[in-house]
Copies of this chain bind each other. A is one copy, B any other.
Amino acid sequence: MLKLYFAPDTCALATHIVLEEVGTSYSTVRVDFARNEQRSPEYLKINAKGRVPALVTDGGILTETPAMMVFVAQSRGRPDLALMDDPFAFAQVQAFNAYLCSSVHINHAHRMRGARWVDASDGQSIAAMQRRVPISVGANYELIEHDLLKGPWVMGERYTICDPYLFTVAQWLEGDGVDPKSIPRVIEHRRRVGERAATRRAIAQERS
């Protein structure tokens, strides 16, 4: 059985929603960031990166959201959720998810995790990075709004793993200083994914 290590309001939610979408049996373990559990010796044995999410499987432990979502879809008989039967369509799915993980999520992280990229004592540079977040994340969402999001779902008519992932990172955009009025299609997409039963169940579990 699968076991998902998560923390609320993190990108772990994307894989959590996919677990609900495929209808597999799984359990969850909450990692308490307030107590810095993600850096505890016990958790570092699960994920040496000291972050969430991590997914314990019968074959071993997986990390990295784009990889975990494809694994859940492929191993639970739902490769269609990643359009895996068509190499080009699958590559588009992967390209979108790579953009979320390496651009949107990273730019966002400069608001809360600046000490990854400058010395933790350098408050001036950390503040400078925070001031840039609305611009960098805003530019990411402009591209998604106008070029990447096909509609109604990210890949067009078919719901894929891109949708819960965009939904998840889009939870953070107001906090990042991005004006939701400037990206109405992203906001409408977020509303649409939020209405799905699988999404509601995953969120309810994280909050329980």
List residues of A whose CB falls within 8 A of some B CB.
Answer: 48-49, 57, 59-60, 62-68, 70-71, 74-75, 87-88, 90-95, 98-99, 101-102, 105-107, 110, 116-119, 122, 124-125, 128-129, 131-132, 136, 143, 147
Contacts and interface: CB of A to CB of B under 8 A. Distances in A.
B117 A129 contact: yes
Contacts of A129: 117-118, 125
A139 B71 CA distance: 27
A71 B88 contact: yes
16 contacts: A48-B147, A60-B88, A60-B92, A62-B91, A66-B66, A67-B95, A70-B87, A71-B91, A71-B94, A75-B87, A98-B101, A102-B105, A117-B117, A118-B128, A118-B131, A118-B132
Stoichiometry, copies per complex: 2
A60 to B, nearest CB: 7
B125 A95 contact: no
